[in-house]
Amino acid sequence: MKKPFLTSKTAFFALLAVAFFTLSIPNFAAESDSTQTKPFDANEVIIHHVLDDHVWHFWDGHYGTLYLPVIVYSSERGVDIFSSHRFYDEHHHVVEYNGYKLEHNHIYLADSGKAVLDLSITKNVAMLLINATLLVVVLVSVARAYKKNAGKAPSGLQSFFEPIILFVRDEVVKPNIGHHYEKYLPYLLTLFFFILFGNLLGLLPGAGNLTGNIAVTAVLAIFTFLITNFSGNAAYWGHIFWTPGVPLPLRPIIMLVEVVGIFTKPISLTVRLFVAITAGHIVLLSLISLAFIFQSIAVGAVSSLIVLFINLIELLVAGIQAYVFTLFTALYIGMATEEHDHH
């Protein structure tokens, strides 16, 4: 009889293999590249990696390109679904297709120039789905192993993730939220591992810049904002709108500062993660580009060594940013749910 955990583990690695194979499928419908070459443009390479795109490039050429599905809606044309390959000719020049045009990675109606509602599976959306799937598979495997090995020493994936889970619970969540931390622990653990996995996946060659996308970090911050303020008790709102212990003439000023603080907290969470991850990617790509700019083996060797060192630092930053985002979220929730005694 096979062990359930081994089955889950096998499924996990099979899923990774399928994901890698799917993302590596070349576009066999594409025709050969133009023989013309153009000078290396470091700015184009860096911006292309940092920003989202309807096309996922793994390496140069059609066989290293994954054309993602385009899903658009407009009141004039309704819903349209087609491959992003339709926007490119055989020389990979951008062209109009079926009344739509692609400009600066935004889709418009070709005749009126009106923007459409873009629900496409872009590179970052694909990375989001991969990240979420990996998160579910890993944590479900760990949960099953925990139930099976109750009272026993952890093994397999459980032995790796259980210390991290206990660290987040005992060193991040409990001290900042207090005795009622259990109801917020699932969200905070999900938040921590989602950011951690996204940061680490983003360091893989050819991967998308998921947690370096401000839309993603903003949504995470909005979740924290909503949970914090909907969990706020009377003491929390009392301190914001009529702070005790403050002279009466100063209370309106303090109230204004506190109200502004409600909105600056999620903004700081959004910007901190976005800037830290994006800056790291830009530095790495800039150093890699030096070898192509100078076309020198010596420069390439030195830049490669520096990139290796910075990549190790980025691994540390990936964990730190997940920790910091979770820590501040727990702190904000703890401040909103804390009971205040005034004498």
**Is the per-residue pLDDT at 2 higher than 80?**
no
What is the structure's pLDDT at 251?
84
Q: Are residues 194 and 77 in the same domain?
A: no
Q: Are residues 97 and 167 in the same domain?
A: no
**Is the per-residue pLDDT at 13 higher than 60?**
no
Q: Are residues 317 and 207 in the same domain?
A: yes
Q: Are residues 188 and 312 in the same domain?
A: yes
Q: Are residues 195 and 324 in the same domain?
A: yes
In a domain, 183, yes or no: yes
What is the structure's pLDDT at 29?
35
Domain containing 100: what range? 69-120
In a domain, 4, yes or no: no
Q: Is 295 exposed, middle or buried (0-12, 13-18, 19+ CB in 10 A)?
A: exposed
What burial letters (b/e) apply to 6-40, b meaning 16+ CB within 10 Å? Answer: eebbeebeebeeeeeeeeeeebeebeeeeeeeeee
**Is the per-residue pLDDT at 342 higher than 60?**
no
In a domain, 170, yes or no: yes
Paired tokens of 280: 């790291």
What is the structure's pLDDT at 170?
94
pLDDT band at 164 (very low <50, low <70, confident <90, very high): very high
Q: Are residues 106 and 145 in the same domain?
A: no
Highest mean pLDDT among 150-164, 191-205, 234-248: 191-205
**Is the per-residue pLDDT at 120 higher than 60?**
yes
**Is the per-residue pLDDT at 329 higher than 90?**
yes
Percent of the chain having pLDDT more than 70? 87
Q: Are residues 251 and 102 in the same domain?
A: no
In a domain, 33, yes or no: no
In a domain, 39, yes or no: no
- How far is 299 from 287, CA to CA, in rounded Å? 10
Q: Are residues 133 and 110 in the same domain?
A: no
- How far is 28 from 284, CA to CA, in rounded Å? 31
Average pLDDT of span 168-190: 93
Cβ pair 107, 53 in contact under 8 A: no
pLDDT band at 41 (very low <50, low <70, confident <90, very high): confident
Lowest mean pLDDT among 242-251, 265-274, 275-284, 322-331: 242-251
In a domain, 203, yes or no: yes
Q: Are residues 112 and 130 in the same domain?
A: no
pLDDT per residue over 293-306, tens digit each?
Answer: 888 888 888 888 99
Q: Are residues 168 and 278 in the same domain?
A: yes
What is the structure's pLDDT at 26?
37
Cβ pair 11, 137 in contact under 8 A: yes
Q: Under 8 Å CB-to-CB from 330, ≥6 apart: which residues?
A: 172, 173, 176, 177, 181, 184, 188
What is the structure's pLDDT at 299?
85
The last residue of a domain, from among 120, 155, 180: 120
- How far is 308 from 46, CA to CA, in rounded Å? 18
Give the Cβ contact number of residue 161 at 10 Å. 19
What is the structure's pLDDT at 61?
60
Q: Are residues 162 and 187 in the same domain?
A: yes
Lowest mean pLDDT among 40-54, 91-105, 163-177, 306-320: 40-54
Q: DSSP alpha helices (H): ranges in 31-75? A: 42-50
In a domain, 315, yes or no: yes
Cβ pair 44, 102 in contact under 8 A: no
What is the structure's pLDDT at 145?
87
Q: Are residues 89 and 201 in the same domain?
A: no
pLDDT band at 19 (very low <50, low <70, confident <90, very high): very low
Average pLDDT of span 46-67: 79
Into how many domains does the chain fold?
Answer: 2
Q: DSSP alpha helices (H): ranges in the chain? A: 4-23, 42-50, 123-148, 157-167, 174-177, 185-201, 214-231, 234-241, 251-294, 297-337
In a domain, 76, yes or no: yes
**Is the per-residue pLDDT at 337 higher than 60?**
yes
pLDDT band at 247 (very low <50, low <70, confident <90, very high): confident
**Is the per-residue pLDDT at 250 higher than 80?**
yes
What is the structure's pLDDT at 301?
87
